[in-house]
Amino acid sequence: MTITPERLDSMFRPRSVALIGAADKSMFSAGAYRNLVNFGMAGRVHLVNRRGVEVHGRPSLTSCQAIGEPVDVALMMVPQAATIGAMEDAAEAGIKNVIVLSSGYGEAGEDGKQAEADLVAAAERLGMLILGPNMLGFANYSARTAVTAVPVTPGTGDGAVALLSQSGASSSAMVDYAGASGADLSFMVTLGNEAMITAGHILDYLVDDPGTKAVAIFLETIRDPEAFARGARRAAAAGKAVVALKAGSSDLAARTARAHTGALVGDDRVTDAVLRELGVIRVDSIEDMLVTAGTAASVGRLPRRGTSAVSISGGACDILADRAADEGLDIPAFAPETTEKLAGVMPGYGTVHNPLDVTGAAIIDPTIWTRAIEAAGNDPSVGSVLMINGIPTEDSPTATLQRPTYAAIAAGAERSAVPVIWVSQVQQPVTAYTRELLAEYGNPPVIPGLVQAVKTVSHLGWWSQAVDQAAKGPADVALPAPAHDAPRSGQWSEHQARELLASASVSVIGSELVTSADDAAAAAGRLSPGGPVALKIVSPQILHKSDIGGVALGVTGADAVRAAYEKVTAAGGSVEGAEVEGVLVSPMRSGGLELLVGVVRDPQWGPVLAVGLGGVLVEVLKDSALATLPVTPARVTGMLRSLRGAALLDGVRGTAPANGAKLSEEIARIGNLALALGDDLESLEVNPLRVDGDIVEALDAVIEWRTR
C-alpha cells in the first residue's frame, strides 16, 4: 500500500472516531474518551463494547457495523488476539484507518514478529492503514482532534511543533515538557512499532501541514531509512527543522532498545553521520529536543552561526562563555563599529565585549538595554542575540519592578536585525503568567536556562547552514567504471586490489608482481634505485601476511632482495592450500602521515566511508569521520577537518603540510570507486593512505566481496 500524505489525511483529520474495546475499567479507554470530550469531539465518537454495556456514562454498540454511519478512524483497545477480528468488523463498517494500541507484536520475540506480519497482511487484505501497534495514539492540535490515551489538552490550536515518539510511555512526559517550555504543539503522534506508517511517512505529511514549522522526533530505530531520508530532505527544503532524539548511542542502550522494541539498532556513528547529512538536528535529551524544535519553529533560520549575549549578570556571561566553548558555539568579538556604539551606551566602569554585561546601571537606566540590544543585534558577525535576565513565572514585586526593563528590551529587539531570544538564567517553566507577560512584549522566543540556550542556538546555527545542502540530497558525482577480471567473491589479493584502485585513477605506490628472485632484484632496482624496498607474498588465501613471515621490509641491495624473495615465498609455500600469485615489490617510504580510508556496508544506509588518521589515533582513540557515499572532495575536507588530530595535516614535528585538495580528491575517488562496485562489495580498505606534502599514495589495500 502506498502511504501518501493524502491517504494519511483521513487518519490524522478524522470526522469521526470509534473506540473499539471501550470499557470503564480500561485506563486507556477512559483516557482516550476524556481527551475526545476535552477536544470537543464527544458528538463524533462511537463507543464499541462487545457486551454493549454502558461505558463512560454512554450507551455502547456491540460492533462497528452497528454504528450505521461512516467512521474514519478506529482506535483499537482490544487484546492482541482479538485485534484482527475487530479489524474485520471495522472494515465491514467501511472504516479505513485503525490505530492499534496493544503490545505483544514486533517487540515481543519471534511470536510477536509473526503476529505483526499477520496484522499487516490483514490490513492489506482489508485495504486498511494501521498506525502502531504498541503505542498510544495521536493528537492533531490544529484540527482539534485527539485519538490517544496520552493525557493531552487542546491548547491554542496555533501550535507549530509536531512531536513524534516511538515511545508511548515517554510521550506524556514529552507533551508536559512541551507545554512547560513554551513549545506549542501542532501534532503529537506515538509511532510504536510502525508496522505500516513510519516516522518518514509522517514527516513527509507534516512538511505539507501549514501549521507545523518544526518536528521533534524521539526514535529508537529508523525503520524505513528511505522514507525517513525523503521526509527529512523535504523538510530541509521547506525550512522546517527536524530535531531528533535518537536513542542507542551507547552499547547499553542498543541492548536495551533491542530488548524492548525488538528494533535492530544500527551503528550509532553511522546514524550520526546520516542525520547530519539530512540536516537533522540530533539532540541528547527530551528537553533539548523540545526547546530546540520550539525555538526553530519560532525564529526559523538564523542568518549567521555566531551569537551575542547581553545580560545584567557578569556571572551569567561567564557561564555562557564556558558552555559556548564546550558546545563549539561561536561568540564572536564585536566589530569596531559595534564596540564604538556600545562604548557610548555603557557606564564608565563597564567593559565592552561579547558577551556583554550591561551592569547594574541598566537597573537605573533601562534604555541601556534597548541600545545594547540594538547595537549587538546589528553587529555583522552576529546571527542572534541572547538576552539573559530573570523571566518571572508569577506575579511579585520584583516582576512589577522589572516591567520598564522588559519594555526596554522589547524596544531593542524591534531594532535588531537578528532574532533576540529571551533566556532565563535557570531552567524554569513558562507559566500562564509568563505567557501573558511575554504577550505584552511582542511574544519573543524564550529559552529556559543558560545551558539550554547555548545548546539550542548552537543547533540552530548549524542547521541554518546545513539545510540547503541537505535539501539538495546526494552530490552529483561521476562514478568510475572499474575494470577487472577476477571474480567478485571472497577477499582479493593485495595485487588485485591495487590494480582495481589504479583502474579508478587512485594513486597507488608503484609496485611490481614478480615470480623469481632475479625479477625481484630487477624490480627493486627500477622502483627504488639504491634505496630500500618491501617484499610481500601475494595470495588471496593469506590474509595476515606478516604473521606467517610473508613480508620483508627495508630490504636494500640486489642480493638482499633475492634472499628476501626466497624467504617470503618459502613462508607462502608453507601455508596449506594457498595459491601464491607471486611477490609484490614496492619502494619503502618514510616520513609523511598515514591515513586509513575504508568503506563498509551499513545494513540500513548502504556503503559508508570512514576516514581516520593512522597509527595510535585510529587504533587507540578511534579518531575517524564517517559519510555516506557518494562524497565530493569538499565533503571529504570537512570530514578531515572534523578529526581531533586534524592539526597533523597542517604539519607538525617537521613534516610538510599535506596538500589538502589533492588528499581529499584521492579519498573521494576511493569512496566513489566503492560505490561504483555496487552491492557486491562488502568492504574496501586503503590502509595506509600516505600523504607527504603533495604526494598522496595508497600503500596497501584490502577488498572483500559479499559472496564468500
Binding residues among 413-472 for a copy of itself as defined by CB under 8 A: 424-429, 448-451
Stretch that binds a copy of itself, among 81-89, 160-168, 229-237, 481-489 (CB under 8 A): 160-168
Binding to a copy of itself, residues 331-350 (CB under 8 A): 331, 349
Told to check if 245 binds a copy of itself by CB under 8 A, we report yes
252 binds a copy of itself, rule: CB under 8 A: yes
Nearer Cβ to a copy of itself (156/250): 250
Question: Site for a copy of itself (CB under 8 A): which residue of 13, 353, 415, 435?
Answer: 353
133, 103 in Cβ contact below 8 A? yes
Please name the helix (run of DSSP H) or strand (run of DSSP E) that holds residue 498, with its range, or none: helix 494-503
- Residue 364 CB, shortest distance to a copy of itself, in Å, is 9
Among 7, 13, 34, 50, contact with a copy of itself (rule: CB under 8 A): 34
Q: Which stretch binds a copy of itself (CB under 8 A): 2-10, 256-264, 473-481, 694-702?
A: 256-264
What residue type is assigned to position 589 of the chain? Answer: R
Q: Which residues, numbered 209-238, are part of the site for a copy of itself (CB under 8 A)? A: 218, 220
CA distances (Å), 422 to each of 158, 440, 456, in order?
21, 14, 12
Stretch of 278-286, 467-475, 520-528, 683-691 lying at the interface with a copy of itself (CB under 8 A): 278-286
Q: Can residue 395 be called a binding residue for a copy of itself (CB under 8 A)?
A: no
Beta carbon of residue 315, minimum distance to a copy of itself (angstroms, whole number)? 3
Q: Considering beta carbons, is residue 185 or 316 the nearer one to a copy of itself?
A: 316
The span from the CA of 418 to the CA of 429, in Å, is: 25
| Least distance between a copy of itself and beta carbon 56 (Å) | 13
Please, which residue, 319 or 345, has the CB nearer to a copy of itself?
A: 319
Is 328 one of the binding residues for a copy of itself (CB under 8 A)? no
177 binds a copy of itself (CB under 8 A): yes
What is the distance between the alpha carbons of residues 675 and 326, in angstroms, rounded to a whole number?
A: 36
CB 424, min distance to a copy of itself, A: 7
Number of residues that bind a copy of itself (CB under 8 A): 89
Nearer of residues 40 and 109 to a copy of itself, judged by Cβ: 109
What is d(CA 46, CA 513) in angstroms, rounded to the nearest whole number?
A: 80
Q: Can you tell me which of 264, 401, 634, 661 binds a copy of itself, judged by CB under 8 A?
A: 401
**Under rule CB under 8 A, residue 257 binds a copy of itself:** yes
DSSP string, 60-119: -BSSGGGT-S--SEEEE-S-GGGHHHHHHHHHHTT--EEEE---SSTTSHHHHHHHHHHH
326 binds a copy of itself (CB under 8 A): yes
Cα–Cα distance between 152 and 136 in angstroms, integer?
12
Instruction: Figure out which of the listed residues 253, 479, 578, 676 binds a copy of itself, where binding follows CB under 8 A.
Output: 253
User: Can you state the angle between helices 494-503 and 660-676, rounded to 10 degrees?
Assistant: 110
Question: Sheet holding 97-100: strands in order across?
Answer: 45-48, 17-20, 73-76, 97-100, 129-131
Asked if residue 489 binds a copy of itself (CB under 8 A), the reply is no
Does 42 bind a copy of itself (CB under 8 A)? Our answer is no
- Contact between 65 and a copy of itself by CB under 8 A: the answer reads no
| DSSP string over 253-319 | HHHHHHHHH------HHHHHHHHHHTTPEEESSHHHHHHHHHHHHHH-S-S-S--EEEES-HHHHHH
Q: Looking up cell 460492533, which residue turns up?
A: 63
Please give the residues from 540 up to 569 whose contact with a copy of itself meets the rule CB under 8 A.
Answer: none
The angle formed by the CA atoms of residues 135, 138 and 139, to the nearest 5 degrees, is: 155
CA distance 145 to 550: 72
Residue 436 or 650 having the CB closest to a copy of itself: 650
The C-alpha atoms of residue 453 and residue 496 are separated, in whole angstroms, by: 54
| Least CB distance to a copy of itself at residue 690 (A) | 16
Q: Omega of the bond prior to 133 within 30 degrees of 0, cis?
A: yes
| Three-class secondary structure of residue 501 per DSSP | helix
Least distance (Å) between residue 354 CB and a copy of itself: 9
- For residues 436-469, one letter each, b for 16 or more C-beta atoms within 10 angstroms of the residue's C-beta and e for the rest, the string is ebbeebeebbbbbbbbbbbbbbbbbbbbbebbee
Going 14 to 18 to 19 to 24, the CA torsion angle's sign is positive
Give the separation between CA 349 and CA 367, rounded to whole angstroms: 17
Q: What are phi and psi of 65, to 5 degrees?
A: -60, -25
398 in contact with a copy of itself (CB under 8 A): yes
Binds a copy of itself (CB under 8 A): choice among 35, 166, 307, 338 = 166
Give the three-state DSSP class for 624: strand
**Piece in contact with a copy of itself (CB under 8 A), picked from 118-126, 369-377, 644-652, 688-696:** 644-652
Q: Which of residues 87-126 bind a copy of itself (CB under 8 A)?
A: 103-104, 107-109, 112
* Residues in contact with 524: Cβ distance below 8 Å, sequence separation at least 6, in sequence order: 533, 555, 558, 561, 585
Closest to a copy of itself by CB, 269 vs 415, is: 269
Min dist. Cβ of residue 494 to a copy of itself (A): 20
Q: Is 616 in the site for a copy of itself (CB under 8 A)?
A: yes
**Strand bridging mode 385-388 / 308-311:** parallel
Q: Is 244 in the site for a copy of itself (CB under 8 A)?
A: no
Residue 48 and residue 61 in contact, taking contact as beta carbons nearer than 8 Å: yes
Over the window 494 to 533, marking each residue x when it contacts a copy of itself by CB under 8 A and - when it does not, the resulting string is ----------------------------------------
Dihedral class, residue 521 (left if φ above 0, else alpha if ψ from -120 to 50, else beta): alpha
Is residue 590 a contact point for a copy of itself (CB under 8 A)?
A: no
- State yes or no: residue 404 binds a copy of itself (CB under 8 A): no
For a copy of itself, the binding residue among 16, 170, 465, 687 (CB under 8 A) is 170
**Cβ closer to a copy of itself: 343 or 616?**
616
482 is a contact residue toward a copy of itself (CB under 8 A): no
Find the distance separating the first CA and the last CA of the chain, reported in whole Å.
36
Out of 200, 266, 377, 645, which residue is the one contacting a copy of itself (CB under 8 A)? 645
Q: Which of 110, 620, 679, 708 binds a copy of itself (CB under 8 A)?
A: 620
Residue 173 interacts with a copy of itself (CB under 8 A): yes or no: yes
Q: How far apart are CA 630 and CA 635, in angstroms?
A: 10
| Residues 468-475: contacts with CB under 8 Å, at least 24 apart | 468/236, 469/279, 470/232, 470/233, 470/236, 470/277, 470/278, 470/279, 470/280, 471/233, 471/234, 471/236, 471/237, 471/279, 473/233, 474/628, 474/630, 475/630, 475/631, 475/632, 475/635
Q: What is the contact mask toward a copy of itself in residues 287 to 316, using x (rule: CB under 8 A)?
A: x------------------------xxxxx
Applying CB under 8 A, does 182 fall inside the site for a copy of itself? no
Residue 66 binds a copy of itself (CB under 8 A): no
d(CA 322, CA 618): 29
CA distance 601 to 628: 10
Residue 402 binds a copy of itself (CB under 8 A): no
169: contact with a copy of itself by CB under 8 A: yes
Is 24 a binding residue for a copy of itself by CB under 8 A? The answer is no
Residue closer to a copy of itself, measured from CB, 390 or 532? 390
Residue 334 or 565 having the CB closest to a copy of itself: 334
